[in-house]
Amino acid sequence: MSALKPYLRGLVLIATFVALGYLVKETGLYDLLDERWIDREIRGRGIAGELLFLGLGAVLTAIGFPRQAVSFLGGYAFGFGAGTALALAAAGCGCILAFTFARILGREFVRGKFGPRVRRLDDFLRDHPFSMALLIRLLPVGSNVVTNLAAGVSGIHAVPFIAGSVIGYLPQTVIFALLGSGIHLDPSLRIGASVVLFVVSGMLGVYLFRRYRTSRALDADVALGADGGGNPDGGGR
């Protein structure tokens, strides 16, 4: 029975996320989350509306709902400043939920089933989990929920990964909250500012990635030099 335990946990993990995704789809919740629903359930309801938005946004981003859409709706519901803060908090809580859920229920199963992939993520994040998580979030590629789940089953520490993720979420959160806020700017200026922010955040991600590759190459050179014992021929006496 003990040998089956990791697989049972993994099946529970998979079944839970499949069931949640199916429930959200079949109940039409994705379709309900538009401006009219926000007007009816969130706007003008004070702290209750903010808590509802935060909780729902956390759950939805944890199971794969685009955090950019949550940011847009946050800007629409609360304005640029508060919308950015609440959407960022929701995405951060969603990251924590998915990471923790995977670590508790799916770690042994996924490591046994997808060991090489988990090891690659470990190699990428292990030495500098904060900066590498920040890098992953700044690059406009990949799946948010898959990254959270893979990190959860890896061996990295939670706090630096989550902190790096939240900071990395910030540029796109600002962009989409700005778009949704209807802030009193000419629409072309608002869209233009969003495009500039998006390009800048992507360029920062590329810059950090290049620094990471350069650092790895230097580390490899140092390691080879150490293995050679300082002798150009790699020999010794």
Answer whether residue 192 is part of any domain: yes
Structure tokens at 175: 């962009």
Per the structure, the count of domains in the chain is 1
- What whole-number distance in Å separates Cα of residue 94 and Cα of residue 106? 17
Confidence at residue 207, expressed as pLDDT on a 0 to 100 scale: 66
- What whole-number distance in Å separates Cα of residue 164 and Cα of residue 151? 12
Answer whether residue 235 is part of any domain: no
Give the residue-averaged pLDDT of 128-132.
80
Give the residue-averaged pLDDT of 121-132.
72
Q: What is the pTM of this model?
A: 0.69
**Residue 6 reports pLDDT greater than 50:** no
Higher pLDDT, 148 or 205: 148
**Residue 29 reports pLDDT greater than 80:** no
Give the residue-averaged pLDDT of 10-14.
52
Give the residue-averaged pLDDT of 92-115.
79
Answer whether residue 76 is part of any domain: yes
Query: Which of 191, 181, 223 lies closest to 76 in space, CA to CA?
Result: 181
**Residue 181 reports pLDDT greater than 70:** yes
**Residue 233 reports pLDDT greater than 50:** no
Answer yes or no: are the C-beta atoms of 33 and 69 closer than 8 Å: yes
Domain hosting 114: range is 5-225
Answer whether residue 218 is part of any domain: yes
Give the residue-averaged pLDDT of 173-199.
69
- At 25, the pLDDT band (50, 70, 90 cuts) reads low
Residue type, 83: G
Tell me the pLDDT of the chain averaged across its residues.
Answer: 73
Confidence at residue 232, expressed as pLDDT on a 0 to 100 scale: 41
Q: Answer positive or negative: Cα dihedral of 207, 212, 215, 217.
A: negative
- Reported as a single tens digit per residue, the pLDDT across 53-96 is 999 999 989 988 888 889 989 998 999 999 999 999 999 999 99
Give the residue-averaged pLDDT of 153-158.
83
- At 118, the pLDDT band (50, 70, 90 cuts) reads low
- What whole-number distance in Å separates Cα of residue 151 and Cα of residue 8? 20
- What whole-number distance in Å separates Cα of residue 156 and Cα of residue 125? 7
Residue 7's SS3 state is helix
- At 158, the pLDDT band (50, 70, 90 cuts) reads very high
**Residue 221 reports pLDDT greater than 50:** no
Confidence at residue 205, expressed as pLDDT on a 0 to 100 scale: 61
Q: 119-135 in b/e burial notation, b at 16+ Cβ within 10 A? A: eebbebbeeebbbbbbb
Answer whether residue 230 is part of any domain: no
